[in-house]
């Protein structure tokens, strides 16, 4: 049975890693009926806007998307399309698993999941500069907005995820000592939800700076981490570095009406077009998408094939110390599925 899904190849390395992923899905016979759409820089070039209505309409219809990274101008320019999509479809839970695949790296046996609140906090877009005298940017101000409902649903999602995925502990990461209102509300809410799961899922909390250090010193102490938007963004890149880098880190953006799957990394302009990007993160995102639609067998099969290609066959892209191209790696995974 095929299921319709939106495909956004994205910018930079996006089209390369997307093509590699489609090749593997094709080899598996995993059936998505793709509706290809554009977003980000490539959409500006093709449609004159970074987020065309056709892309929104497609996701509204399918409720399911595989998305490549989208370039966001730094400083000025248009707002992040990735963030806009998360807000438009209220994809409140960003689920980012971090697992050791390549042996002999910095850490063996890392297996943690970061669950990041994906719609609130400092990403709500209330970010302004103010003119004083002749200086148009004399003062800059950003506002973080947290709601009790927003905190409740992400914390409940994290504890529920822990329960349904056989996890043991949820660590709440916050900065409630300084951000007493916003991070304070998050921690207060998390503690209420933790009580509901008492005896089923253990829980503790850590201040974000300590959590960042603990991740580097002893990552295997973590199981599920639930945190706010900015901290989750930073900690998930950090955590990917514990297991070989961004090339191996997938993510899911989950809401009640739609879900978008993507790599944690960005469009990697420094290596775009060279055919050397690691498509693993995007492939693992596709595996999460298969899990999401209930095709657990295929998700597991894809993950196993990818691990076998990397570990047994020793086919690795440059970021993992190998010399395989994106296409060679895709062929190796496709052979193993």
Partner in contact with 268, chosen from Mg ion, ligand NAI, none, beta carbon below 5 to 8 Å by kind: ligand NAI
Number of residues lying near ligand NAI (CB under 6 A): 21
For residue 277, give Cα distances in angstroms to 55, 263, 270.
25, 12, 10
Considering only residues 81 through 110, tell me which ones interact with ligand NAI, judged by CB under 6 A.
Answer: 82
CB 319, min distance to ligand NAI, A? 4
CB-CB contact of 204 with 226 (8 Å): no
Adjacent-strand bridge partners of 5: 34
Q: Please name the residue ranges forming H helices in the chain.
A: 14-28, 41-47, 53-62, 81-88, 148-164, 182-196, 208-217, 229-242, 280-292, 296-311, 326-336
Considering only residues 246 through 275, tell me which ones interact with ligand NAI, judged by CB under 6 A.
Answer: 246-247, 262, 265-271
Whether 123 sits among the annotated catalytic residues: the reply is yes
CB-CB contact of 279 with 334 (8 Å): no
Considering only residues 4 through 33, tell me which ones interact with ligand NAI, judged by CB under 6 A.
Answer: 13, 17
CB 263, min distance to ligand NAI, A? 6
CB 232, min distance to Mg ion, A? 9
Select from 9, 69, 97, 121 the one that contacts ligand NAI (CB under 6 A). 69
Select from 117, 233, 262, 291 the one that contacts Mg ion (CB under 5 A). 233
For residue 51, give Cα distances in angstroms to 8, 33, 56.
11, 22, 8
CB 72, min distance to Mg ion, A? 10
Name the site residues for Mg ion (rule: CB under 5 A).
Answer: 233
Known catalytic residues are 123, 175, 209, 233
């Amino acid at each position: 049975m095929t299921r319709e899904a939106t495909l956004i190849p994205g910018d930079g390395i996006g089209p390369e890693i997307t093509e590699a992923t489609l090749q593997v899905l094709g080899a598996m016979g995993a059936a998505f009926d793709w509706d290809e759409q554009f977003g980000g820089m490539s959409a500006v070039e093709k449609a004159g806007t970074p987020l065309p209505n056709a892309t929104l309409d497609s996701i509204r219809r399918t409720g399911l998307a595989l998305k490549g990274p989208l370039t966001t101008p730094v400083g000025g320019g248009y707002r992040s399309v990735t963030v806009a999509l998360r807000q438009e479809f209220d994809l409140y839970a960003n689920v980012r698993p971090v697992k050791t695949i390549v042996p002999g790296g910095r850490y063996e046996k890392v297996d943690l999941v970061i669950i990041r609140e994906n719609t609130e906090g400092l990403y709500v877009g209330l970010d302004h500069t103010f003119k004083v005298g002749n200086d148009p940017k004399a003062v800059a101000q950003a506002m973080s907005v947290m709601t009790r409902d927003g905190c409740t649903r992400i914390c409940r999602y994290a504890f529920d995820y822990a329960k349904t995925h056989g996890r043991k502990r949820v660590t709440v990461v916050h900065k409630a000592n300084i951000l007493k209102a916003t991070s304070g509300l998050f921690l207060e809410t998390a503690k209420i939800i933790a009580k509901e799961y008492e005896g089923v899922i253990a829980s503790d909390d850590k201040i974000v700076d300590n959590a960042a250090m603990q991740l580097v010193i002893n990552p295997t102490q973590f199981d599920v981490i639930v945190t706010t938007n900015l901290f989750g963004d930073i900690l998930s890149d950090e955590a990917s570095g514990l297991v070989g880098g961004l090339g191996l880190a997938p993510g899911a953006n989950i809401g009640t009406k739609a879900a978008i799957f993507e790599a944690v990394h960005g469009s990697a302009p420094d290596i775009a077009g060279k055919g050397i990007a690691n498509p693993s993160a995007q492939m693992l995102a596709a595996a999460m998408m298969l899990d999401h639609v209930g095709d657990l067998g295929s998700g597991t099969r894809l993950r196993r094939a990818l691990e076998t290609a990397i570990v047994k066959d020793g086919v690795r892209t440059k970021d993992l110390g190998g010399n395989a191209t994106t296409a060679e790696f895709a062929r190796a995974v496709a052979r193993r599925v």
